[in-house]
């Protein structure tokens, strides 16, 4: 167990778990994984004092598979968590637990609550219910209403170093090059393993690389590939976001090669390909491309269609 998990085990054992926590950390830092661990520790049927949850009992398995009815999760509805969602949550938490006396509520992207939702939650936090525990997950605690912050204990999740994380993934059987690549996408071990085992993710990685090469060398072919190769495997906004992050990685690596810092590559196994592309481009070209991909990320987050973004990318500058 890492230090945060050990600290929460001691807190649970000493019956000092407070009613509300803000779990603050960058994307992929392991916030969701930490809260799942805490929840399993609360419900585990086999855990002894000082021990981590067993992860194999029915309750631990239900938590891992999001099947425990006493664990309620709230996600943004579109771009925000709305007041009606918090009102519905209050109604659900007001009833007795189905499988135990405890209830856990997890608010994802809590910084995306509307003012009305924040005020509705605040009323609930001001009058806590015994054995109802809140975990508010955020990438920016400063955007959470100060009055909510004052009624929660803030826990900051610091990701492990990329190298340590890569080694951890390789111990789980992930190939070295894939472990390195994934470590730049997330610092959540469970998410990383899911990606490594996902056929759709591997396919997206392969097709995005082939598209990227052609977008530099033969842009007409790359333009067609958006429709024929990429669009069919983009099933949701999460995958669209991953695709744009991959393109950013490729551009970053290209800049490293142009700047003679190839020892810093995310994909060192692609060095020959990068060098071939570098011979046809300039440092300024890749600085421009990096700026362009970050603009594309902002557009995608604003619900601009990714197909149009990628097709525009293929056009000559």
89 and 218, same structural domain?
A: no
Q: What is the pLDDT of residues 3-17, one digit of tens each?
A: 789 889 999 998 989
Assigned domain for 117 exists: yes
Q: Compute CA 200 distance to the chain's CA centroid, rounded to the nearest angstrom.
A: 17
In this model, does residue 51 exceed pLDDT 90?
yes
224 and 105, same structural domain?
A: no
151 and 28, same structural domain?
A: yes
Q: Compute CA 37 distance to the chain's CA centroid, rounded to the nearest angstrom.
A: 16
147 and 37, same structural domain?
A: yes
pLDDT band at 218 (very low <50, low <70, confident <90, very high): low
At residue 133's C-alpha, the angle toward residues 51 and 6, to 5°, is 25
In this model, does residue 121 exceed pLDDT 90?
yes
At residue 188's C-alpha, the angle toward residues 199 and 268, to 5°, is 65
253 and 309, same structural domain?
A: yes
Domain boundary among 159, 189, 208: 159
Assigned domain for 305 exists: yes
Assigned domain for 172 exists: no
Average pLDDT rounded to a whole number, residues 17-29: 88
Q: Please answer whether residues 59 and 45 qualify as being in contact, where contact means their C-beta atoms are separated by less than 8 angstroms.
A: yes
Backbone torsions φ then ψ of 45, nearest 5 degrees: -85, -20
214 and 122, same structural domain?
A: no
Domain boundary among 99, 129, 159: 159
* Average model confidence (pLDDT) across the chain: 89
Give residue 91's pLDDT.
85
Q: Please answer whether residues 32 and 137 qualify as being in contact, where contact means their C-beta atoms are separated by less than 8 angstroms.
A: yes
pLDDT band at 98 (very low <50, low <70, confident <90, very high): low
From the list 20, 70, 18, the residue with the least C-alpha distance to 40 is 70
Assigned domain for 171 exists: no
Q: What is the pLDDT of residues 80-94, one digit of tens each?
A: 999 999 999 988 887
CA dist list (Å): 166 to 176, 193, 213: 7, 11, 26
Assigned domain for 26 exists: yes
How far apart are alpha carbons 126 and 116 in whole angstroms?
Answer: 16
User: Considering only 157-166, 178-187, 225-234, 239-248, which range has the smallest mean pLDDT?
Assistant: 157-166
Domain count, the chain: 2
255 and 136, same structural domain?
A: no
Q: Transcribe 227-267 into DSSP letters.
A: IIIIGGG--SHHHHHHHHHHHHHHHHHHHHHHTT-GGG-S-
Q: Please answer whether residues 85 and 118 qualify as being in contact, where contact means their C-beta atoms are separated by less than 8 angstroms.
A: no
Q: What is the pLDDT of residues 226-280, one digit of tens each?
A: 999 999 999 888 899 899 999 999 998 998 898 888 888 999 999 999 999 999 8
221 and 155, same structural domain?
A: no
Q: Residue 132 pairs with which residues in a beta bridge?
A: 103
Average pLDDT rounded to a whole number, residues 97-111: 86
Assigned domain for 51 exists: yes
Structural domain that includes position 247? 198-314
Domain boundary among 131, 159, 187: 159
307 and 238, same structural domain?
A: yes
Assigned domain for 175 exists: no
142 and 8, same structural domain?
A: yes
202 and 74, same structural domain?
A: no
Q: What is the CATH number of the domain that holds 237?
A: 1.20.272
Assigned domain for 239 exists: yes
CA dist list (Å): 204 to 7, 141, 221, 267, 301: 38, 32, 18, 15, 19
33 and 117, same structural domain?
A: yes
pTM of the model: 0.62
């Amino acid at each position: 167990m890492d230090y945060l998990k050990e600290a929460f085990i001691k807190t649970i054992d000493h019956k000092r778990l407070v009613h509300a926590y803000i779990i603050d950390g960058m994307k992929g830092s392991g916030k969701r994984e930490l809260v799942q661990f805490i929840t399993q520790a609360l419900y585990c049927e086999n855990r002894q004092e000082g021990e981590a949850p067993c992860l194999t009992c029915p309750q631990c398995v239900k938590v891992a598979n999001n099947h425990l009815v006493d664990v309620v999760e709230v996600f943004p509805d579109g771009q925000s968590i709305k007041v009606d969602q918090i009102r519905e949550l209050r109604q659900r938490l007001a009833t007795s637990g189905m499988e135990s006396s405890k209830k856990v509520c997890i608010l994802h992207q809590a910084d995306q609550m509307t003012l009305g939702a924040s005020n509705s939650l605040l009323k609930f936090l001001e009058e806590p219910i015994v054995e109802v525990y809140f975990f508010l997950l955020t990438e920016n605690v400063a955007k959470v209403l100060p009055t909510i912050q004052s009624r929660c204990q803030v826990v900051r999740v610091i990701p492990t170093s990329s190298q340590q994380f890569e080694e951890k993934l390789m111990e789980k059987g992930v190939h070295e090059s894939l472990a390195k690549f994934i470590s730049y996408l997330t610092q959540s071990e469970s998410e990383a393993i899911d990606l490594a085992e996902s056929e759709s993710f591997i396919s997206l990685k392969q097709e995005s690389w082939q598209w990227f090469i052609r977008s530099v060398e033969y842009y007409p072919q790359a333009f067609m590939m958006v429709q024929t190769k990429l669009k069919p495997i983009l099933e949701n906004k999460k995958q669209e976001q991953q695709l744009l992050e991959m393109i950013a990685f490729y551009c970053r690596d290209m800049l490293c090669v142009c700047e003679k810092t190839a020892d810093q590559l995310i994909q060192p196994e692609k060095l020959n390909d990068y060098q071939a592309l570098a011979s046809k481009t300039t440092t300024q070209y890749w600085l421009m491309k990096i700026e362009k991909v970050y603009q594309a990320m902002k557009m995608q987050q604003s619900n601009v269609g990714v197909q149009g973004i990628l097709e525009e990318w293929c056009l000559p500058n």
